Structure 1
Amino acid sequence: MELEAIPGVGEKTAAALRELDDPAGALEREDVAAVAGAPGVSEGRAARIVQGAIRARHDDPGGFLATDRAREIYDDALDLLRERTVTDYAAKRVETFYPSSVDSRIEEVQQFSAGAMTRDPDDAVLAALEGVRPLRRPGDVRVRDRCLATKDAERYAKAREAFPEMSVEVVEDARGLAELARGYSTVVAIDEAFAGVDVQGDVRVEPGAFDDPASVVPERPLAFFAANRERLEAAVAVHRAAGMDAPCDLDALEAALADLAPDGSVVGDDELDRLTDAVDDLDAAAGMGESAANDALREAIRERDVTIEGADLLSLVEQGAGADRLLSRELEEEYTAAVETARETMVDALDLKPEEAEVARDAFDDDPTYPVERDENAVARLRENLTAARDRRAARRKRELADTLADLRAPAAELVRNALERDVELAVARFARDFDCVLPDRGGAGFDIDAGRSPLLDVDFDEVEPVDYGVDGVALLSGVNSGGKTSTLDLVALVVVLGHMGLPVPAESARVPEIRELHYYAKSQGTLDAGAFEATLRDFAALTEGDRTRLVLVDELESITEPGASAKIIAGILEELHASDASGVFVSHLAGEIRDAADYDVAVDGIRAVGLEDGDLVVQRSPEKDLLARSTPELIVEKLATGEGDADRGAFYDRLLDKFEEA
């Protein structure tokens, strides 16, 4: 698919999408998070791009929601779904669901919905989903302790592009490598010509570096997994709680993540920890050795009575001897023991191995001095050895861990994607359970709803009375004020919109029409002026032209002008729709007048009013066929005529009631 062929994707957006690793795959998977990874593309924009790609894939012309009220019903449906998502991703992902007239798209989502409705929105799964987020790119990685070396200019340019994290140097021969090795802890030579060179320092020859970048820059995969560790762990928890098949070994992934610190360094290696601590604690350990030796020496001096003959003392003074000579002569054994104490203290404090301990012993000289002091040059050599060992160990562990994680990168991305998609499935499952939904059938120009309940009403769903209603062709719907006519239209519109989205509908069973457009006109707020009235007539004139596969829902169109004119206008509109085999429902208080004005036998359905009870209207919510429902005024007059009101004026009320019956 050409990116520019997607509705709403221009040249600039297409260029941003091409920055993704696999833009076509992301769009095919409907992966909003991946598309949102393109530069300058927000999640909301990504959802619209994915929806455009879906339309292009199904050759969907769009335009199903033909009026503002139809679009409002769709927005309400999306809100109900979004309220049942856990992740921000799923809240955006559900926006890719839209009402369509194309069979392939509707069936595609119906298959998704059928699978989703089998999912169990377990509390443990929902809790685990709270930590799942789309994977993010880590910040820039910079490697300063190693470099790449080549003698070829073309390979130099290629290496600069392939390894932006590292310095790349041009060298002519082994001498150049040796010079680099003095400035870097590791030099990676990428030319085959350097194979077998003998250079002092850590120089690796890896001609296949381009094929295995993780071996050269293990920090790259480590940084990615460190940046996404919590998200991956949450995705693992979702898979375990939901019993989902995982694209990788979850135990292996968790074990690898456990070896990774937030900064991308390796943890959990006892030997590396020992070497790191030894480098960090070296000065302190040397100081401890000095203190231990001097404490031991002072104690020995206090406990010894040193006697020096006069001739010997004179000889020592003449030779300029100081305490060192005295120690050597009188306390040689004690000094030797003190130095050994210093060495052992230092070795034990740093937990050094035998070969390391040999170097550490040079930090304290056998020649007597007081106080005992470390040899800084020897300490520096030990630090250099320990640091080199630490760095080698860290580099090896980084490469090992990077090799493991690099193989897990694609499965890890799939792991997170599957967890996020499970949230989308669970949103549909929760929607279906919360509102007792089923997947509807499709066929014909009309609709049929059995025990439908609207979740759009401002009452608890459990309190909503079920409605049975079906229409083939065009019908008038009559009923008293507040009897449920508008809520019935809303229910019909919602069922039709959800059905054409491929989603379950709130009913025990339902059939939605095969239509290209839904036209829903809400009740007008007051009489329209001449210009607005003319525009409204133009809208309805357009409904009678061209492709007739439309469902038209109209709420009290008579309010746009005078009642007498409204009845004639509505009758004319119904005649045109009837002739075109369209389907629709017109809610009106002028059903009788419209029926009389029409040139065919208009179907009139009614919401039956049972009566008034304690001042409250009692109705049967499901419309009845061939019923011109009574109005609220008629119910009040009937109540008065039966003596429930003013019995003294009963004859007057009877005459008024006769007027209604005559009509």
Structure 2
Amino acid sequence: MELEAIPGVGAKTAAALRELDDPAATVESGDVAAIARAPGVNEARAARIARGAIRRRHGDDGRVLATDRARELYREAIDLLRERTVTDYAAKRLETFYPSASASRIEEAQAFAAEATDREPAPAVREALADCAPLSDPPTVRVRDRCLATADAETLARAEAEVPELSVETVEDARDVSELGRSYASVIVLDESFAGLDVEGDVSVRPDALENPAETVPERLLAFFAENRERLEAAAAVHEAAAAAGDPVSGGDPDGESDAGTDPPVETDRLRDALSRLDDDGTIAGDAELDRLTAAVDDLDAAVSTAASVADDRLREAIRERDVTIEGTDFLSLVEQGARVDSLLDRELADEYDAAVDAAREHLADALRLEPEEAELAERVFGGDPSFPVDHDESAVSRLRTELSAARDRRAAKLKANLASDLGDLREPVEQLVRDALELDVELAISRFARDFDCAMPEVVDPDSSDPGFRIEGGRSPLLDVDFAAVEPVDYAVSGATLLSGVNSGGKTSTLDLVALVVVLAQMGLPVPAESATVERFEEIHYYAKSQGTLDAGAFEATLRDFGDLVDGADGRLVLVDELESITEPGASAKIIAGILEALDDQDATAVFVSHLAREIRDAADFEVAVDGIEAAGLVDGELRVNRSPKKGHLARSTPELIVEKLADDRGGEFYGDLLEKF
């Protein structure tokens, strides 16, 4: 797939996406978290890229949301869903759902949503999701004790690009390799021409080293798992909580195709066991022998100093407890020979000195928990010429440090290789583990939305079906500024151009909002807040909100130009207009609206125009305009009582007519009667 062919992906973004392991497959999957791992691509941008890839896959080049108010309704619908997510990922992932005119895309999204609505949003699962987040790539780890070596310039460039964790050295012959063996704890030669090389040090010839990064630089894999420990443990907890709730994560993908299995892609106990062997900095944890060697290297200088103090204390105490007598001739002889205190110690306190040195050696071995072969090296640290304070051999300390460090590094390398081997099998499964957990949050958000607003999955039909337009039964808008439980259900169906009449505050605008919301959600492939709904698959949705006051000449001309463009090829469009008459004088408005409705009727468009001028528009039109009305039952204690479902083929009475009627009934008289007859 050509990345630049995706809507919204330019050359710079495409270059960033190519840094992913499999950019085409990743983008095609719609996995927002995976796309966001490209350099400089955040999750919001990743959602737009995923949406563009979905559009391209379905040949969905249209723009369904054609007006500002239509786009506002979409944002309000998305916000209702986002409010029901737990993770930031799910909030961004929902952005990949959009109103589409593609039948295949709607079907794909409906398949995903249908499975989602079957899920039970258990509190324990939502609690576990709180710590769940997409995996991240750790910073490059620099490994100082190992290097790669090659005599080939092309191999050198490839190794530097593919294994930035290690130094890559140029060698020409065995002598160069031997020198590297003295400088590095481990040397990996990439050229097969060096096979059979016999040099000192840990040197291996591995032409396939670049193909096996887990063996060559296990630190890379360990750093990934260390960086993502909390995310992996959280994802495991989500799977376990879902299984305990009887609703296991199915392993579905973002495009609606689900895996029939219900087991997580990796055994969570196995994952936790592997993570327990890894420290937060990517080093090995929980190995007693490695801990012993590491502590021995770190504590060596302090232990030597303490051991020397032990010897000094023993010797000092020995000197205090006995008298040392040296005859005059012996003293003169020692002085003439340039004797020092150590000579006197050797002559008079030899046994005591040996005991003190033995105590120092024993303390050093015990403090560092040395093995017998290591203790032999430690014995050389003390035991030179007698002295007070007792001295130690720094070269012996250096040799002991070198041996302990080498043993530590060998142990660490072995453990890293073993753990990397175990974790290598889990690398792809844990990606799926986290992806499934995050996708579960998306599903649960849709499930909660459907449950909170008593939603049903709508039927989306082709424009040429026998049931075009829209039909809504028991629809309740969650956008109203009242508790959803208090919203009165609305039944409404329209096919063709229709006028919607009704009293002020009778619910005409909220009915338009409900229609727009149901159609938008239906073409997103999501459930709608209604008992049932059938929606034509509209190519475009045009929703014009009520104008705030009469427009000046320029704005009025621009508005007419918009409607001129609207009726130019309006097939497959839904047009919702709220009180267009407010843009100019009522008489002119009625004629303009009548003309627009005539054009829309000629093209079999579905349209609902809310207007208080329904009678005048009907009279001005050259075809029989359908008029529906939101009927008011009357005024009770000053409160308007309304049947919220529009009545088909009915011109609803206005609020003034209801008030005049109430006054005529209450007070009688010719005045009110005559006024009522004029309606």
User: Which of 517-526 and 104-113 deviates more?
Assistant: 517-526
**What corresponds to 2:103 in structure 1?**
103
**What corresponds to 2:28 in structure 1?**
28
Distance in 1, matches of 2:200 and 2:15, equals 48
CA shift in 2, pair 1:568/1:168, >3 Å = closer
**What corresponds to 2:78 in structure 1?**
78
**TM-fit CA distance, 1:365:** 0.4
**TM-fit CA distance, 1:623:** 1.6
**What corresponds to 2:672 in structure 1?**
656
TM-score, with length taken from structure 1: 0.93
CA contact (8 A) 2:188 2:203 kept: yes
**What corresponds to 2:208 in structure 1?**
208
Structure 2 residue matching 1:293: 3-state secondary structure: helix
CA shift in 2, pair 1:329/1:657, >3 Å = farther
Distance in 2, matches of 1:373 and 1:641, equals 121
**What corresponds to 1:439 in structure 2?**
457
Distance in 1, matches of 2:175 and 2:606, equals 88
Q: Is 1:151 aligned to 2:174, yes or no? A: no
CA shift in 2, pair 1:61/1:168, >3 Å = closer
**TM-fit CA distance, 1:322:** 4.2
User: Which of 72-81 and 168-177 deviates more?
Assistant: 168-177
Q: Is 1:471 aligned to 2:471, yes or no? A: no
**TM-fit CA distance, 1:586:** 1.4
Structure 2 residue corresponding to 1:613, chosen from 601, 614, 636: 636
Distance in 2, matches of 1:564 and 1:404, equals 81
Structure 2 residue corresponding to 1:421, chosen from 422, 439, 444: 439
Distance in 2, matches of 1:306 and 1:18, equals 84
Structure 2 residue matching 1:551: 3-state secondary structure: strand
CA contact (8 A) 1:55 1:62 kept: no
**TM-fit CA distance, 1:354:** 0.7
AA aligned to 1:437 is C
Distance in 1, matches of 2:531 and 2:439, equals 27
CA contact (8 A) 2:660 2:675 kept: no
Q: Which runs of 5+ in 1 are unaligned?
A: none
AA aligned to 1:106 is I
Q: Is 1:622 aligned to 2:640, yes or no? A: no
CA shift in 2, pair 1:159/1:14, >3 Å = closer
AA aligned to 1:551 is L
**What corresponds to 2:577 in structure 1?**
554
AA aligned to 1:248 is V
Q: After the TM superposition, which parts of structure 1 deviate over 6 Å for at least 4 consecutive aligned residues?
A: none
Structure 2 residue corresponding to 1:252, chosen from 270, 291, 295: 270
CA shift in 2, pair 1:202/1:327, >3 Å = same
Structure 2 residue matching 1:327: 3-state secondary structure: helix
AA aligned to 1:148 is L
**What corresponds to 1:569 in structure 2?**
592
AA aligned to 2:445 is A
AA aligned to 2:114 is A
CA shift in 2, pair 1:2/1:311, >3 Å = closer
CA contact (8 A) 1:445 1:582 kept: no
Residues 578-631 of structure 1: CA deviation (Å, up to 9, x unaligned): 333222211111222223333444332222222333433222212222332222
CA contact (8 A) 2:227 2:280 kept: yes
Residues 368-401 of structure 1: CA deviation (Å, up to 9, x unaligned): 3322222222111111111111111122222222
**TM-fit CA distance, 1:150:** 2.6
CA shift in 2, pair 1:568/1:324, >3 Å = closer
Within a 5 Å distance, the mapping from 1:230-629 to structure 2 comes to 230-243=230-243, 244=249, 245-308=263-326, 316=334, 319-365=337-383, 367-443=385-461, 444-629=467-652
Structure 2 residue matching 1:451: 3-state secondary structure: strand
Structure 2 residue matching 1:642: 3-state secondary structure: helix
Residues 90-136 of structure 1: CA deviation (Å, up to 9, x unaligned): 22221111111211111000001001111222222223323232222
Structure 1 residue matching 2:493: 3-state secondary structure: strand
Residues 562-590 of structure 1: CA deviation (Å, up to 9, x unaligned): 22222233233333333332222111112
CA contact (8 A) 2:579 2:609 kept: yes
**What corresponds to 2:198 in structure 1?**
198
**What corresponds to 1:135 in structure 2?**
135
AA aligned to 2:646 is P
Distance in 2, matches of 1:497 and 1:657, equals 47
Distance in 2, matches of 1:522 and 1:160, equals 60
Distance in 2, matches of 1:405 and 1:246, equals 16
Distance in 2, matches of 1:224 and 1:657, equals 85
AA aligned to 2:27 is L
**TM-fit CA distance, 1:503:** 0.5
User: Which of 368-377 and 311-320 deviates more?
Assistant: 311-320
**TM-fit CA distance, 1:321:** 4.2
Distance in 2, matches of 1:582 and 1:151, equals 74
AA aligned to 1:519 is H
CA shift in 2, pair 1:65/1:322, >3 Å = closer
CA shift in 2, pair 1:98/1:359, >3 Å = same
Within a 5 Å distance, the mapping from 1:627-638 to structure 2 comes to 627-638=650-661
CA contact (8 A) 1:259 1:267 kept: yes
CA contact (8 A) 2:458 2:527 kept: yes
CA shift in 2, pair 1:569/1:656, >3 Å = farther
CA contact (8 A) 2:570 2:600 kept: no
Distance in 2, matches of 1:541 and 1:154, equals 65
CA shift in 2, pair 1:178/1:658, >3 Å = same
User: Which of 315-324 and 582-591 deviates more?
Assistant: 315-324
Q: Is 1:169 aligned to 2:169, yes or no? A: yes
AA aligned to 2:520 is V
CA shift in 2, pair 1:171/1:562, >3 Å = closer
Structure 2 residue matching 1:141: 3-state secondary structure: coil
Residues 503-544 of structure 1: CA deviation (Å, up to 9, x unaligned): 010011111123212121111111223333333334334444
CA shift in 2, pair 1:575/1:325, >3 Å = closer
Distance in 2, matches of 1:541 and 1:326, equals 118
Structure 2 residue matching 1:604: 3-state secondary structure: strand
CA shift in 2, pair 1:15/1:175, >3 Å = closer
Identity between Structure 1 and Structure 2 (%): 68
Structure 1 residue matching 2:675: 3-state secondary structure: helix
AA aligned to 1:522 is A
CA contact (8 A) 1:147 1:166 kept: yes
Structure 1 residue matching 2:530: 3-state secondary structure: coil
Residues 452-508 of structure 1: CA deviation (Å, up to 9, x unaligned): 111111122222221111222232211111111100110001001100110010011
Distance in 2, matches of 1:313 and 1:160, equals 71
CA contact (8 A) 2:107 2:525 kept: yes
Residues 155-175 of structure 1: CA deviation (Å, up to 9, x unaligned): 334333332332222333332
**TM-fit CA distance, 1:213:** 1.9
Structure 2 residue matching 1:519: 3-state secondary structure: strand
AA aligned to 2:581 is E
Q: Which runs of 5+ in 2 are unaligned?
A: 244-248, 250-262, 462-466
Count matched residues: 656
CA contact (8 A) 1:272 1:393 kept: yes
CA shift in 2, pair 1:558/1:289, >3 Å = same
Distance in 2, matches of 1:316 and 1:3, equals 92
